[in-house]
Structure formats: C-alpha cells, structure tokens
Amino acid sequence: MWRTLYSIFLFVFLLAGCESSRIVDQVQIIHAMGYDWKNGKYIGTAIYPTFRQGPMTKPDILTTESSTTYDLIPRLSSKSALPIEEGQMRLVLFGKSFAKKGITEIVHSLARNNKVGSHLQLAVAKGDAEELLRITAETTLSDTLYLSNLVEQNIREMNLPNTNLHIFLYNYFGKGRDPFLPYFEKKGNFVKLEGLALFNDGHYVGRIDLRQSFLVKMLLDQTKNGVYQIPISRNKQKGRVLLENLFATSRYSFKKGKQPVIDIHLHIRAVIRDYPTWLDLPDKRAFKLVRNQMEKHLNKDITALLSYFQKKEIDPLGIGDFVRSHTRNWNEKSFYQQYQQLTIRPHVKIDIVQTGIGE
Amino acid sequence: MSIFSFLFKKNKLEKQTKTLSHLLKSLKQSSDFVHLPFQTNGHYFSIYYFDSLVDPKLLQQHVLCHLQQDLSEHSSLSIHDLQQIIPIQRIEVTADVEMIETKLLKGFAMIQLLDATDRCALINLASENLGLRQNNDSENEFSVVGPKVGFVENIGTNLHLLRRQIVTPNLIFRELTVGSMSKTKVVVAYINGIANDQTIETVIQRVSEIEFDVVFDTSLIDQMISDNSSSPFPSFVSTERIDRVIYALVGGQVAIFADGSPYVITGPSTLFDFFTSPEDYYLPWILGSFFRLIRLFGVMFSILASPIYIAVLTYHYEMIPKDLLGPIIFSRSNVPFPPTLEVLFLEITIELLREAGARLPTKVAQTLGIVGGIVIGQASVEAALTSNILLIIVSLAALASFTTPIFKMSNTIRFIRFPIIFFASFWGGVGIVFAICLLLIHLGKLQSFGNPYFVPLYPLRVKAFADSFIRSPYHLTAKRPSYLRPRTFWRYDPKKAKQKKDIDE
C-alpha cells in the first residue's frame, strides 16, 4: 500500500518536470504554408490567424528565405513572439518554380511529421505561392483556411478528384502511379482553381484543366458529383448540354498478350441539367441522339487525356499499378518503357436518369 | 478503524456483575430517573422509570389507573398477576439485571413488589414517536411519478411500511443490537427463499461483529461492514425510498435498517444500482432506458469534461476541430493561468458553492446559488480569470453529476474528477487513459458482500444487461439477475406478463 503510494508520488512529481506542454493560446498556429524558389533561394511563407481581438481577425503573414528547405520553419520562429507550431496546418502551397525543382524534400518531411494530419491539402500555384497567400490574406476577412476550404469544397461538390496528403503520399511512393495536386491561378484579385498539376517523381511536369480533372475524378474512383459540358448538334443546329454526374463507376480490364490492351468501362448515371431549347428531351429520339453524342464525345476526350498522360510518361490514374495487380513479376521500368505504346480504350456508357425540371 | 484500535483497547468497558440495588443506585444519580413508591389495598410496590423516556399518558392511563382501581380485587398479589391487571402487551418478568438495565434505558417501567424483590416486571411505556418525524416525503430522492412515502427515524414505522407491501410470511426480520453506548436496534431484512443464504450469513455476521459506541445512522454501519472501506465508491445503496428497498429485496438483496436512521442500506449492490432511479420503472421502458442512458452519459461527461479540456488545450492542440480553434483561443487569450489552474479554480469554486449551499438554510442557499453561479461566474470571466468555454464546461459537468439518483455516488463522482484532472495536467491524454485504467481496475476488484461490484461488465453476465444500461420491458426482466445467486429465479411468469387479456379475445 505505502509502496504504491510512494511510487505514485515519485512518478507524479518527478515526471511532471518532463512535460512538453504547448498551451493552445501560447503557440503560433500556422494554417497554411507556402514554398517558393526564387533567385536561388527558398522562400517560406506562413499564414496564421491571431485571435487576440476577437474570433474574427485578419490573417497575418510571416515570410522568410533560406538556402535550404529544412530551416524555413525554424527561421520563421525568429520573426515570431510565440513558438511556431504546424500541428493545425491545413494547406501547403508550392510555387510553380519550386514544384518544377522538386517537392521531394518537403514531402518526405511531411510524411515523417507526426504533428500534421493526413487531411492536409497540398496544392500548386501558378507563379509564387507567397503572392497567392497574400491575396487570400488580403481579400478574405478572417479566413486563414480559405484555400484549403476551397479545395475541400471542390472535392465534395465539383470536379476535383479527392486529394490530400495521404492520397498524395500513396501515389508518390506507390509503384505504378504518379501524384497530382490541385492547381491554383491568380485571376485579378482572386485565386481560382484551374485544374490539376501533374507530377512525375516529385517534379511538376504539366497540368490539365478543370474539365479534364472531372474525367480524372471519374476514372479514379466512384464519384457522385461534378459537371461537364458537351457540344451537341442535330442537323445544322448546334448547342451544348450540361451533364451533371449523379453516380459514376469505372471498371478496368486488362488483356494480356504481345500487344496488351487496357479497357476502361465508365458507367455514368447523369442528369442533363441544361440543354438548348431546340432539343425536345423527353422525346425518345432526341434522348438517344444526346446520349450517343455524349458518349462519343466523352470517349474522345478521355482518349485525348490518356494520350496526353502517355506522351508525358506519367500515370496519375495508376494504370501501372492496375497492370501490376494482374501480372506476375511486373517490372516498373520495363512497363513504363512500353507505356507510350500501350493501347488504352475507354468505353463510356451514359444513363440519363433525369433531365431536370424543364420549361 | 485499525488506526484507532489502540484507543479502543484502553477504553474497553470492563464488565462486572451487578446487583439490582447497585443498578438502581447508579441510575438514581440521574435526576430524571423516578422512583415511585406505591401502596394500595395493603400491597406495597415500587415503580421505577425514566421520566424522559416513558409516555406520561401511557403511564397514567394504563398503569397507575389500573393499579389503583383493580388491585382491590386481588387479595394476594404475585408479580405474574400484573399481566392480568395492566392492559399493556408483553409484560416481562425477569431477574436479569443486565436486561433490566437495557429495558429501563429503552423506556420501560419496572415494577417491583416489596415482598419479592428479586423478580421485577418490565412494562413497555416508551414514547415511540416523541420528537421524531411522523412522515418523510422522500425529498432527497424525489421522483415525480410513484409513491412519495419515505422511511422515517422510527424503525417500527419503517418495518411496518415494508411489511405492508411485501405480504408474505417469507419476509424475515432479524434483529440485532449494535453500539456499546447507543444499543441501537438494527434489523436485517430479507425474503426467505429468494436471498442467498451465504449473503444473509455474511450480512448478519458483519453487522453483529461491529464494535462501536454510538450508531448515528446506517451510513456508519455501511462504512463498517463494507468490503473495502478505503474506496471512494460506496459499497451499498442507501436509500430512503420504500420502493427501492422493496425492489432490492424482491431481487434477492438484503436490507439493513437501524433505529434512528431514515436511510436503509441494501446490498449486495453493483455499480449500476447507483444509476437506476425508481422513475425508470414507472415510465414506459423506452423512456426509462433513454433517461438512464442520459444519466450514464452525464456521469461520463461529468468525470471527463474538464480533464479533456486540460489535456487538449495543454498538449493536443492538433486535435481541436478547425472551427473550434478560433473561439477557444479567443476565450483563453486573456487568461493568465495555464488551463490546469484555470480548471482547478473553477472546479473548486463550484465545490465551495455546493458545500456552502448544503450547509446553509434552504432559503439562503437559493440566494447563494444565484450569487455564486451567476455573479462569480460572470465576474471571473470578465476579469479574465477563466475562459467562457471552460465556464460552460465546468457548470455542465457539475449539472451532470447531479443526475445520479444516489447521493453517495454523486459525491464519489464529485471526488474522482480531481485525480483525473491532475493526471490530465501532468500527462495529457495519456494521463486520462491511465487514470481511467486505474479506475476500471479498481472497479473490477471491488466487492459488495463478496459479490462483484462491476457486474455485469466484469465478470461479464450478458443476460444481466437487460436491466443495466437500458431498462428492458417487464417481460424480459422476469428473471432475477444471476450474479446475486438467488435461490429462486423467476419473479413472475414472463409469458403471462406479456399476455393481454382483453374481453374481445
């Protein structure tokens, strides 16, 4: 009895000195971090909220430069009154020049950092990350999470495929797949999501627009949202229909042989949200026409997208990974040597479930 | 008790054989001891009694009056004839000095014939209810639905109340006397054929072995017979509600009454017994179960809310949801203390308020509650001594701890929050987990009259869950819980209980 009491006493009072407390109002919590490569130096920009005057406060910005990426956050500390903590970080934004140079170092550091969650969003900015962060800090009131909320909103409701640190790391380290990230652009005084940035082995190699990112989203996994505009024509009348995805599933199949073929079966259940007035949709023939033209068009778009990937020798869809799961002794190197010659055939099937409330 | 054992050894009363005259002499030292020499029709006798204990009305109407009028019919009088003359039940004739002493001290009158001084008659003239409450509205364990009759200080009334509702010859009262000074009448009640024999034996053995001077209340007995007296958890339910005691007895438990105490102990108890309220059984089972779950949630919240606040704010800011981060930091930004001190400050304030409220007269306590709750709370937030959010958390936790129906358990919940607060402030979330582990280990080891305390969770008794987290409908709770090892299992026929005998069937 006394021995237990004594040991509890010892534990409590001796170990209490080993505490490493980080009281929530006595640390500087970073909400977003930007990395740039400019004039041979790395520039780090941190955006953080101050809640001193009230729950609604303007975001503040700290920026510093260094010759390596490792000591950017420690250098930020020298400009801050409170210790800098990255535990609540929601977004890491890479400038395009930095992304081209390679984001490997940052990614490795993030993968090992136990403070940041895997819901962290990574993104690429056209131009400087610092500039974009400054724009969000100036135009938005009190919203330090503007960009990460923007990304999440677009994943949930619109054309952006699901991305976060976890998915990025899976694509980055996984064999037979390449990572992609949301791509931002500065438009006047606003920041606009402009599609996906594509990476090859940690280096930025190209980008696709938001329309194409919807295709990527459907090809990657089951989705329940996203919109896509398709041109349509009958006789000499031309117009566009707006397709809204209700539920899309993709199925890959692989034919072995000397000329291996990959078939992608894409099944979209969709709503025609808007259509030209000359199109009388409840009519069966019109229905068929629209469906055929949409399927044809989507097939064409997907083929173009895939050939773009093949030309760039990148694999954001994880086709290599899919083939690996169907092949004994799969070899990454030899697969990607033939990647450009690989035949990938999309087969789109659209079910028009609703046509919206017309008239 | 072991710490004070050296005191008891020294002060142990030495028993010596007394004679009646010795006894009378020592009793006469007290001025309320009355010696009444009496003489009618050539019969000489003395009546002895304690003026402060006997009912004067009884003495005049039933003893003196009859002695004066009826004695003339008896030419020769022996002590046994008094039973015919005095219209009072159970007149005892004895020569045992010990017994005479106890009975005199319990409010009996002693009649001694001068011809035969060795034997005396003892007549019960005790004024049972003088200065005692006649009824108890069970306000401390109030329930809106159901009977509002509670036990009172008089054990006779209590036993009467019990027997009125359990109409069976199997309801057994075993009387014991506890306390060297108070000679308190303690009654162990159980239903023969339901309660486990071993439990009954344990209870009677433990109660009869109590060594103490004055038994003020059953809670003293509770502490002295509990299996682990150094645990903050109460081993037995103590209640002033009749329905609770009856429910316990019918389930196979044993009840302990003590004279002078409106509280009755029932045991063996489990942890869940402390969170059930009679109202659960009076409401439909869905509502009863819902409110019981609310109560259990309240307990968890009350214990864990402020430790989690400390742990998250001191160590785990990563875990705060992004929308909550702003309000938390803002409300804490002007507070000069670390979260631990902040929490301790508020928790202790609330404990002070509670303690002061309990000690003060009811009307003042209400005012105090308002002053303390609103003024101090508001002022301490405005003076930036505590944060708004914490004020809400702590007062909610205090509120939640009041939902426990048994007062002893709600005290326990008040108490065990503090060690967890310290663990949380030293080691954060790990500390909370560690503290809860310690708590669970302790609960798993606890026993109540040798029965496991944490049943049905440990040891696991799946069937007993019918009446633990939720209060199942009555056709599912017809069987008595097996962990009490009752001698018969079925309370009633569940099939018949489910049947509805409507006329049109």
Instruction: Write down the pLDDT at residue B214.
Output: 92
| A92 and A240 both lie in a single domain | no
- Domain of residue B257: give its range: 155-269
| A184 and A264 both lie in a single domain | no
CA distance B492 to chain A (A): 47
- Look at residue B115 and tell me whether its pLDDT is greater than 50: yes
| A221 and A103 both lie in a single domain | no
Instruction: Write down the pLDDT at residue B288.
Output: 93
> What region does A102 belong to: left with phi over 0, alpha with psi -120 to 50, or beta?
left
Choosing from A163, A184, A208, the residue where a domain stops is A208
Return the minimum-mean-pLDDT range out of A20-24, A205-209, B193-197: A20-24
- Look at residue B307 and tell me whether its pLDDT is greater than 60: yes
Q: Over the stretch B152-167, which tens digit does the pLDDT of each residue have? A: 998 989 999 999 999 9
Contact A56, A142 (CB under 8 A): yes
The answer to whether position B228 is within a domain reads yes
| B86 and B228 both lie in a single domain | no
A27 contacts chain B (CB < 8 A)? yes
| B197 and B107 both lie in a single domain | no
Instruction: Write down the pLDDT at residue B362.
Output: 80
CA distance B210 to chain A (A): 25
If you average pLDDT over every residue of chain A, what do you get?
Answer: 85
Euclidean distance between CA atoms B263 and B223, whole angstroms: 14
The answer to whether position B432 is within a domain reads yes
Instruction: Write down the pLDDT at residue B505.
Output: 52
Nearest CA in chain B to A115: B318
If you average pLDDT over every residue of chain B, what do you get?
Answer: 87
- Look at residue B432 and tell me whether its pLDDT is greater than 70: yes
Return the minimum-mean-pLDDT range out of A32-46, B71-85, B271-285: B71-85
- Look-up of token digits 């869940």: B272
Torsion of CA B247, B249, B253, B258, to 10 degrees: 110
| B210 and B245 both lie in a single domain | yes
Interface test with A, best of B315, B317, B420 (most A CBs within 10 A): B317
| A145 and A239 both lie in a single domain | no
Choosing from B78, B106, B124, the residue where a domain stops is B124
| B466 and B439 both lie in a single domain | no
Euclidean distance between CA atoms B99 and B433, whole angstroms: 59
Euclidean distance between CA atoms A217 and B186, whole angstroms: 79
The answer to whether position B354 is within a domain reads yes
Residues of chain B neighbouring A83 (CB-CB closer than 8 A): none
How many domains are contained in chain A? 2
Instruction: Write down the pLDDT at residue A53.
Output: 64
- Look at residue B266 and tell me whether its pLDDT is greater than 90: yes
Interface test with B, best of A2, A8, A23, A57 (most B CBs within 10 A): A23
| A194 and A276 both lie in a single domain | no
| A29 and A167 both lie in a single domain | yes
Euclidean distance between CA atoms A175 and A324, whole angstroms: 9
Choosing from A208, A226, A248, the residue where a domain stops is A208
pLDDT higher at B418 or B91: B418
Q: Over the stretch B86-114, which tens digit does the pLDDT of each residue have? A: 888 778 888 888 888 888 888 888 888 88
Residues of chain B neighbouring A115 (CB-CB closer than 8 A): 318
| B444 and B317 both lie in a single domain | yes
The answer to whether position A56 is within a domain reads yes
Q: Which of A12, A49, A117 sits opposite B326 (nearest CB)?
A: A49
Q: Give A 148-177 residues with CB within 8 A of chain B.
A: none
* DSSP code per residue over B181-206: TT-EEEEEEEETTTS-HHHHHHHHHH
Return the minimum-mean-pLDDT range out of B5-9, B306-310, B467-471: B5-9
Interface test with B, best of A13, A24, A86 (most B CBs within 10 A): A24
Specify the DSSP class assigned to residue B119. -
- Look at residue B54 and tell me whether its pLDDT is greater than 80: yes
Q: Over the stretch A98-137, which tens digit does the pLDDT of each residue have? A: 999 888 888 888 889 888 888 899 999 998 888 888 888 8
Choosing from A160, A187, A208, the residue where a domain stops is A208
Q: Over the stretch A51-63, which tens digit does the pLDDT of each residue have? A: 766 656 678 888 8
Residues of chain A neighbouring B428 (CB-CB closer than 8 A): 21
- Using the beta-carbon criterion (under 8 Å), do A54 and B315 form an inter-chain contact? no
How long, in residues, is chain B?
505
Nearest to B439, CA basis, from B459, B412, B463, B466: B412
Nearest to B226, CA basis, from B210, B242, B212: B210
Nearest to B149, CA basis, from B165, B163, B128, B135: B135
Q: Over the stretch A302-347, which tens digit does the pLDDT of each residue have? A: 999 999 999 988 989 888 899 898 888 888 888 888 888 888 889 9
B438 contacts chain A (CB < 8 A)? no
Q: Over the stretch B439-467, which tens digit does the pLDDT of each residue have? A: 999 999 999 999 999 988 988 999 888 88
| A194 and A260 both lie in a single domain | no
The answer to whether position A133 is within a domain reads yes
How many domains are contained in chain B? 4
| B333 and B411 both lie in a single domain | yes
- Domain of residue A126: give its range: 21-208
pLDDT higher at A266 or A1: A266
| A201 and A176 both lie in a single domain | yes
| B300 and B444 both lie in a single domain | yes
| B248 and B310 both lie in a single domain | no
- Using the beta-carbon criterion (under 8 Å), do A90 and B322 form an inter-chain contact? yes
What is the pLDDT averaged over residues B271-285?
92
The answer to whether position B286 is within a domain reads no
Nearest to B434, CA basis, from B444, B422, B447: B422
| A191 and A231 both lie in a single domain | no
Strand residues in B96-144 grouped as ranges (E)? 108-113, 120-124
Contact B50, B32 (CB under 8 A): yes
What is the pLDDT averaged over residues B286-290?
94
- Look-up of token digits 């949380």: B424
| A183 and A216 both lie in a single domain | no
The answer to whether position B389 is within a domain reads yes
The answer to whether position A10 is within a domain reads no
The answer to whether position B68 is within a domain reads yes
Copy the structure tokens of residue A128.
């400087």
| B200 and B315 both lie in a single domain | no
What is the pLDDT averaged over residues B317-345?
87
Strand residues in chain A grouped as ranges (E)? 28-29, 32-38, 41-48, 60-66, 84-85, 91-95, 121-125, 180-187, 190-200, 203-208, 227-234, 237-255, 261-274, 343-354
Model confidence band, residue B255 (pLDDT cutoffs 50, 70, 90): very high
Instruction: Write down the pLDDT at residue A72.
Output: 84
What percent of chain A is modeled with pLDDT above 70?
94
Give the highest mean pLDDT range of A69-83, B6-20, B95-109, B283-297: B283-297
Interface test with B, best of A7, A21, A84 (most B CBs within 10 A): A21
| A265 and A204 both lie in a single domain | no
Residues near A181 by beta carbon (within 8 Å), at least 6 away in sequence: A94, A122, A123, A124, A163, A168, A196, A197, A199
- Look at residue B1 and tell me whether its pLDDT is greater than 50: no
Q: Over the stretch A342-356, which tens digit does the pLDDT of each residue have? A: 888 899 998 888 776
Instruction: Write down the pLDDT at residue B254.
Output: 95
| B447 and B337 both lie in a single domain | yes
The answer to whether position B412 is within a domain reads yes
The answer to whether position B227 is within a domain reads yes
Instruction: Write down the pLDDT at residue B286.
Output: 95
How long, in residues, is chain A?
359
| A39 and A187 both lie in a single domain | yes
Q: Over the stretch A203-255, which tens digit does the pLDDT of each residue have? A: 999 989 888 898 899 888 888 888 888 888 887 888 888 888 889 899 999 88
Residues near A355 by beta carbon (within 8 Å), at least 6 away in sequence: A271, A272, A275, A281, A282
Residues of chain A neighbouring B317 (CB-CB closer than 8 A): 22-24, 27, 29, 85, 87-88
Half-sphere exposure at residue A116, Cβ-oriented, CA atoms within 13 angstroms: 25
A29 contacts chain B (CB < 8 A)? yes
- Look at residue A359 and tell me whether its pLDDT is greater than 50: no
Model confidence band, residue B4 (pLDDT cutoffs 50, 70, 90): low
Nearest to A180, CA basis, from A145, A228, A220, A144: A220
Instruction: Write down the pLDDT at residue A12.
Output: 67
What is the pLDDT averaged over residues A34-41?
89
CA distance B320 to chain A (A): 8
CA distance A71 to chain B (A): 22
Return the minimum-mean-pLDDT range out of A144-153, B8-17, B218-227, B417-426: B8-17
| B392 and B353 both lie in a single domain | yes
- Look at residue A168 and tell me whether its pLDDT is greater than 90: yes
| B330 and B469 both lie in a single domain | no
Instruction: Write down the pLDDT at residue A56.
Output: 63
